[in-house]
Every structure is written in structure tokens, then in C-alpha cells.
Structure 1
Amino acid sequence: MSDNINEINIDKDKNLSSSDSKKKILENNQEKKILKDQLEKEKDKFLRLFAEFENYKKRIKKEKFDIFEVIHEQIIIELIPILDDFDRGLKELKKSKDKIILKGISLIQEKLIKILKQKGLKKIEVKKGDEFNTDFHEAITQIPAIKDNLKGKIIDIVEDGYLLKEKVIRHAKVITGK
């Protein structure tokens, strides 16, 4: 009989330990699930932060490029009056008939124009008699047209206009007929 009691106690212990181990297994599984969820959240947070940082780097790079473009444009805009001065100076030098000085100044002007062309600067082609176009021309005044076919057309060019990479940076100043 005592053997039976011992067996019952052992069976009870087995049942207890089996239920405890099931409980522990369930607890461990729940802890694993919680840890996996936390890991996924942290991984997601990390990936979002990494993507945000990559976007930040791209944005900064673009802003830096844009700043250099604006500075480049400003420098070229500031050089345009020098081209005008060259034109006026050459007109006056042609009156003096000093060929050596005229040639030297012309070479310097050509060199400056060549450099600016390489940087994307182009002169707006304007001729007397062309149609007035507000995209490229600025009418500084209107005068009565001598002929009817000159109404709304360019009669004289006061100052050249320029494009920088297809963007108008200075409109050609013209006189139009009315």
C-alpha cells in the first residue's frame, strides 16, 4: 500500500512539473513574442531613421548644388556690364584709328566672351525690324513708326540681352515702333 501512495505522489509530482513546464513554455513563448515585436519595432525605427538620413544627405547635396548654381549665375550677371563697357570702348577706339590698341582690346573681349560662352552665356539675337517679344525684349520707349510695317517691331537696340542656359538673365533693351 505504501508503494501505491508513493506512486500516486510521484504521479502528482509529474503532473505538477508537467503543468509547470507547460506554464513556463507558454511564458517563454509570450516573452519571445514580446521580444520579437520589440525587435521589429526597433528595426522599423532604425530603417526609417536610416532612410530619413539618406534623404537628408540628398537634400543637402541638392541645396549645395543649387547654391553654387545661384552664385555662378550671379557672377555672370555681374560680368555682363563689363561686356557692355567693352562694346562702348571699342566703338570709341575705332574712332581714334589706333589699330594696335583696338586689336589688343578686341582680343581681351573675345577671350572674355569665349569663357562666358563656355559657362552657358549666350547673347539674345536681336535685329532691327524683328517682332517685339516680351520673353526676350524690354521696351524702354516707343516712338512713332516711320512705316506701318514697323509698328510693334524693334526700331533700335539700346542694350544687348543675354541667356544663361536657356534662362533670360537680362532682357534686350529695345525701342519699338507704335
Structure 2
Amino acid sequence: MKKKNKAQENEEVVKDNLTAEETEANEAAEAQNEEIEEPVELTAEEKLTIEVAEAKDKYLRLYSEFENFRRRNAKERIDLIKTASQDLMADLIPTIDDFERAQQANQKQEDVEVVKEGFDLIHKKLLKTLEAKGLKLMNTEKGTAFDADLHEAVTQFPVEEEELKGKIIDTVEKGYFLGEKVVRFAKVVIGA
């Protein structure tokens, strides 16, 4: 008989001291360790099935995230549209107040010049407020070249001066820019 080394003797002593339940639990743990250690070979079909399932899961998650983003973005856009003019309206309220005060004062006023001056002041204040928000008046002075991208020709009148032919001779309605975009085309009369 071969002599047992000290480690084997200690192991046997420990095994003898363990109860049957503990022995079974240890054996089950060892069996699991053996299963984990041994790599399981999958067939090509099984590998492809797993890859397809993973790709499908990834696609569904990505699609869900995109749909949530799209809904959230649409809601934010609707909220922005609803409140886009809020700043402008808040800035115009003092001008409305000025008009109301002018109406009250004009009921008792007999001097027409004072009424005209009051309305001129309110007009200037309104234009100043709108200019601060980016509204700019379009240049449509007499002799300005007609531009179909900016002007709308209402009618043509014959002119004696050659330099006014095809150019603006009168403005019926002023045109305006908001930033660089035309918000209202100028209605003009063109010389023929």
C-alpha cells in the first residue's frame, strides 16, 4: 500500500465528519463546476438562431426608443408652436395699453394736433417693439428696381421718364421681413 499524503488524509477526515446532506451538496457543486468548465458545442443552426434572436431583440429595443423619441419630439414641437408668440404678445401689451389710454384721452380732446401726436408716438412704439423682435421694413421707394421675390405688382402705369420704366413708382402696401424671410410682400405700382 502506498502511503497517503497529509492532504488526502485531511480530506478523508473532513468527508467522514460531513453529514450525508452536506456531501450531496458538495457533489452537486462539483458537478456544476464540471458542467461550466466543459464548453458546449452548438451547431451552426443553433448559433444563427441565437444571433437572429439577439438581433431581433436589439432591433425592437432600438425601434421602441426611436418611437418614444419621435413622440416626445412631436409633443415638444406642438408645445413650442402654441407658445412661440408668447414673448411678442407680452411685448405688445403695453402698446395696447397706450391705445386704450389714447382712446380715453381723445374723447375729451378738442385739439386735433395733440391726437395726431399721440397716435404718432404709439405708432413709433409699436414699430420699435416689432423691430426688436426682428421685423424689418422692406425698401420700396420710388425708383427702386422691381424684384418678383420681394414685391407684388398690383398694376402698371405709363411713365414719361425712361429711368422709371420697370421700376417701382408707388407703394400700395409696405412689405416686411422677419429676419431674412419675407413675411409680407410689398404691393407696388410699376412704371411701364
Task: State the 1:47 CA deviation.
Answer: 3.1
| 1:60 shift after superposition | 3.7
Q: Over residues 61-85 of structure 1, what are the superposed CA-to-partner deviations in whole Å (9 max), with x where a residue is unaligned?
A: 34544x348x74xx99xx9xxxxxx
Distance in 2 separating the partners of 1:176 and 1:40: 67
- Tell me the C-alpha RMSD between the 2 structures: 3.7
Per the TM alignment, residue 35 of structure 1 is displaced from its structure 2 partner at its CA by 7.3
Query: How many residue pairs get matched?
Result: 133
1:52 aligns with 2:93: no
Pick aligned residue for 2:176 from 150, 157, 162: 162
Q: 1:146 to 1:47 in 2, by over 3 A?
A: same
Equivalent-residue separation in structure 1 for 2:75 and 2:162 (angstroms): 56
Q: Offset of 1:156 from its aligned partner?
A: 1.3
Quickly say closer, same or farther: Cα 1:99–1:45, change in 2 above 3 A: same
Residue 14 of structure 2: aligned partner: none
Structure 1 residue runs of 4+, over 6 Å off?
25-30, 32-37
Q: Which amino acid aligns with 2:133?
A: K
**AA aligned opposite 2:149:** D
- Please state how far the C-alpha of 1:148 moved relative to its aligned partner: 1.3
1:129 aligns with 2:143: yes
In structure 2, the CA distance between the partners of 1:63 and 1:144, relative to structure 1 (3 Å rule), is same
User: Match of 1:110, SS?
Assistant: helix
Q: Distance in 2 between matches of 1:121 and 1:132?
A: 21
CA distance in 2, matches of 1:147, 1:134: 22
1:152 Cα deviation from its structure 2 partner = 0.4
TM-score, normalised to structure 2, is: 0.54
- SS of residue paired to 2:140: coil
Structure with greater Cα Rg: 2
Higher helix proportion (structure 1 or 2): 1
Can you give the 5+ residue segments of structure 2 that lack an aligned partner in the other structure?
1-33, 93-109
Change (3 A) 1:130 1:97: farther
Structure 1 pair 97/175, CA: closer, same or farther in 2 (3 Å)? Answer: farther
In the TM superposition, what whole-angstrom CA distance separates every residue of 1:125-173 from its partner, at most 9, and x where no partner exists?
Answer: 1110111111111111111111111110111112211112222122111
- After superposition, the C-alpha distances for 1:78-109 in whole angstroms (9 at most, x for unaligned) are x9xxxxxxxxxxxxxxxx98332122111111
Q: TM-score, normalised by structure 1?
A: 0.58
The aligned counterpart of 1:153 is 167
